[in-house]
Copies of this chain bind each other. A is one copy, B any other.
Amino acid sequence: MTAKWYQQSGTDGDVVVSTRVRFARNLNHLPFPAGMTAEQREEVIGQIFEAFPQDGSGAFQCIRMTELSEWDALSMVERHLISPNFTAHPEGEALLLSPDESVSVMIGEEDHVRIQAMHAGLALDEAFTAANCWDDFLDARLHFAFDDRLGYLTQCPTNLGTGMRASVMLHLPALQEKGVIQQLANTVSKLGLTIRGMYGEGSRSEGAMYQLSNQVTLGITEQEAIENLKSIVGQIVKEERGYREQLRETPALEDRVYRSLGILQNARLLSGKEFMSLISHVRMGAAMNILTSVDLNGISHLMVDAQPAALMQQAGCELDPAERDKRRAALVRERLQ
């Protein structure tokens, strides 16, 4: 089985969990998805499925969202392969997914096409290149709606222009503990960026995970947006590391890291919220070499597998919250022994 991007850690993995670049694109001969008929939706799906390589080792999976169980779809949200919105009305929606799940194409979301490339750690250039490659590939075959003055046309004006959203998932336990996240959010917003919870807009941060992404898509090139994000991520990484070293001086840090590991290795019931809070301490401990028995890859892998829908997917059935807490605890114990 190909190792998935979310089962790994990458560059600056102590702070940067993963990187994502996505392009919003629309075919130029059809209305935006909100105004499409069922037939037109099928037409878009058909055209895009046809364009993609479907044989050989690089073959994409073609998935109609109506074919997925609820937990299969939700577990894709947990893995950041699709947006939460995409699971609400599966009719006329489809997904293309590369074997290592690092490239996904949502068809019939807010725009006709959302091309997404993901990577472990800080890898803005790599993710941009991958997304860009599939964008060029599709553009050559399908002709995306483009205006010389406005750039790529999108349903929502906030995507107009480059249609690109580049984001990094940051683990910021030390900055969170210092209580400076709100201040950071204010600062980055002045620099054309936004910081959000783990599952994007409107979601809360769990386990000190924050998504930092570019806000501006108009009047700026993709490369400029990427460089801007890169430079600010660099500063945040430096600050987070600095605060971590301050915390290292206190005996409370080591205590908290080991207690969190001890609870995770022993609990028989673990809510999702408690799991995220404990694994956050363990992740910081591993990143700071306080814990040497746990590695960041394993933690990344576990953070995906311990989410509610992933647990149901593994069980192959619906699970109530109490049953999930039991199975989550069992999974975590097994992985962290």
Interface residues of A (CB under 8 A from B): 251-252, 254-255, 258-259, 261-269, 322, 326, 329
20 A-B pairs, CB-CB below 8 angstroms? A251-B268, A252-B269, A254-B268, A255-B267, A255-B268, A255-B269, A255-B329, A258-B266, A258-B267, A258-B268, A259-B262, A259-B263, A259-B268, A261-B266, A262-B262, A262-B263, A262-B264, A262-B265, A262-B266, A262-B267
Q: Is the interface of A mostly helix, strand, loop or mixed?
A: helix
In the complex, besides A254-B268, A261-B266, 6 extra interface pairs with C-beta distance below 8 angstroms are A255-B329, A258-B268, A259-B262, A259-B266, A259-B268, A262-B267
Residues of chain B contacted by A263 (CB below 8 angstroms): 259, 262-263
List B contacts of A322 (CB < 8 A). 251
When distances are taken between beta carbons in the complex, the residues of chain B under 8 Å from A259 are 262-263, 266-268
A251 to B263 alpha-carbon distance, docked (Å): 16
What residues on B are CB-neighbors of A268 within 8 Å?
251, 254-255, 258-259
A261 to B264, CA, bound (A): 11
Residue of B nearest to A258 (CB): B266
Residues of B contacting A262 in the complex (Cβ-Cβ under 8 angstroms) = 259, 262-267
Q: Which residue of B lies closest to A255 (CB)?
A: B268
Nearest CB on B from A196, distance (A):
32
Which of B251, B261, B265 lies in contact with A269, CB distance below 8 A?
B251
Q: Could you tell me the distance between the alpha carbons of A268 and B259 in the complex, rounded to whole angstroms? A: 8
Q: Inside 8 A of A255's CB, which chain B residues have their CB?
A: 267-269, 329
For the complex of A and B, the 4 pairs showing the least CB-CB separation, nearest first, are A262-B266, A262-B262, A255-B268, A258-B266
Contacts of A326 in B (CB 8 A): 251
A53 to chain B, nearest CB (A): 49
**Nearest Cβ on chain B to A128's Cβ, whole angstroms:** 42
Residues of B within 8 A of A258 (CB): 266-268
CA gap between A254 and B268 in the complex, in Å: 7
Cα(A265)–Cα(B254), bound, Å = 13
Q: How far is the CA of A252 from the CA of B268 in the complex (A)?
A: 8
Query: What's the least CB distance linking A266 to chain B, in Å?
Result: 3
What is the chain B residue whose CB lies nearest that of A253?
A: B268
The winner among A265, A267, A268, A322 for most chain B CB atoms within 10 A is A268
Q: Which residue of B lies closest to A265 (CB)?
A: B262
Chain B residues whose C-beta falls within 8 Å of the C-beta of A251 in the assembled complex: 268-269, 322, 326
Per the bound structure, the CA–CA distance linking A263 and B255 in Å amounts to 10
A258 to chain B, nearest CB (A): 4
Smallest CB separation, A183 vs chain B (Å): 30
Cα distance A265–B322 in the bound complex, in angstroms:
26
Report A253 CB to chain B, min CB distance, Å: 9
CA distance in complex: A267, B251 (Å): 11
Residue of B nearest to A269 (CB): B255
Bound complex: CA A235 to CA B40 (Å): 78
A275 CB to closest chain B CB (Å) equals: 13
Chain B neighbourhood of A266, CB < 8 A: 258-259, 261-262
Contact residues in B for A269 (Cβ distance below 8 Å): 251-252, 255
Across the interface, name the chain B residue whose C-beta is closest to A268: B255
Q: How far, in angstroms, from A81 to B288 measured CA to CA in the complex?
A: 46
